[in-house]
Amino acid sequence: MIKELKLVNFRNFQEKIIHNFERENFIIWENWKWKTNILEALSQLWNNSVTKLNLDDLVKTWEDYFFIEIKDELENKYSFYYSKKDKKKNFLINNKKSTKKEFNESTHSCVIFSPIMMNMIYLSPSLRRDFLDDTLKSSYSEYENLLKNYRKILKSRNSTLKAIHEKRVWEDEIKFWDKKFIDTASEIYKYRFKFINFLQESIVNTKEYFSWKIENIEFEYKTKIDKDDINNSIKNYLDKNFKRDIILWKTHIWPHVDDFEIKTDKISLIHFASRWETKSIIIYLKLLEWIFIEKKTKKKPILIIDDLLSELDENHKDMLLNKINYYQTFISNIYKQENTFYITL
């Protein structure tokens, strides 16, 4: 369990040390930015981000670096230093330099709850893809690098398509990038289907949240890939759409054009379910996220709840708070709860 946080030159904090964290921690402050910055610092240490800002924007104005450090109940220290000047990251465990992989595997993962998350089903597909990929990055230390490598390959393939369209290179040039694309995309799908299978098996337990009787609820992953024959289905699609890809300079099959939806009795959740029922399902999806992470990492994730309770009715607050009892939680909120440790900034 995390017991202490130290910040230097992070966002609005010149230097700040917070001691004696408990299992459940409410951060109280009338200015939402201060509260969120504490949560952002914690999430950065656990390879995630509440705000999705780039690292340069996390450095305090007029400063060249930031430093974040946590200390656990065993007095172990985990530190993250970022230099804005040379774009360099340094990770330390007990004041000794560490690789990012070793650092991530030594610390906890985190699961982030935020107001936009409660609209995940209604808004852009990118939010739903982020939900899948953020969970996998927290569950498998190698997934983040795999995703970065894939994006580089995709960019190179699209550049080659453009060069073919402009007749600067021969069509055969695409074969090199096709092989790399197929190999890397296949690896991403193998990880993604592990989480998707887990969600598909578990989503049936949400039937109790509906105000009417439903026979079936399913998590449907929308993709052009045949999960039983991933490599060949990608290759066949690339071959079939090669001429179109050349014209548009764009690869039209890849993990980040996929989507998912939840269906009740074959009808999409957003068409029939109430906002209350949809919020219940989303909270349950986040519950499944932290269960999956815990199963894969063998460690309880830290829960970060940013400015969310004010968006929920009393029933959903109770639903969420009752499920987080066994996890260390950091919550930004304007409401005080009984028997809770408060951080006043």
Whether residue 277 sits in one domain with residue 133: yes
Residue 210 inside a domain? The answer is yes
CA distances from 129 to 28, 114, 195, 298, 308 (A): 32, 16, 12, 24, 21
Residue 116 inside a domain? The answer is no
Mean pLDDT value across the chain: 90
Residues in the chain: 345
Give residue 29's pLDDT band: very low, low, confident or very high (50, 70, 90): low
Residue 118 inside a domain? The answer is no
Whether residue 203 sits in one domain with residue 92: no
Whether residue 310 sits in one domain with residue 294: no
Higher pLDDT, 311 or 205: 205
Q: Of 275, 298, 321, which one is at a domain's C-terminal end? A: 298
Whether residue 227 sits in one domain with residue 93: no
The 10s digit of each residue's pLDDT in 280-297 is 899 999 999 999 999 999
CATH number at residue 46: 3.40.50.300
Residue 117 inside a domain? The answer is no
Q: How many helices (H) and strands (E) does the chain have?
A: 10, 14
Give the per-residue pLDDT at 339.
47
Residue 161 inside a domain? The answer is yes
| Structure-token pair, residue 324 | 């987080």
Residue 261 inside a domain? The answer is yes
Residue 260 — φ and ψ, nearest 5°? -145, 160
Q: How many domains does the chain have?
A: 2
The 10s digit of each residue's pLDDT in 126-138 is 999 999 999 999 9
CATH number at residue 259: 1.20.1050.90
Residue 119 inside a domain? The answer is no
The pTM of the full predicted model, rounded to 2 decimals, is 0.90
Give the per-residue pLDDT at 16.
94
Beta-carbon contacts of residue 176 (< 8 Å; ≥ 6 apart): none
The boundaries of the domain holding residue 33 are 1-108+300-345
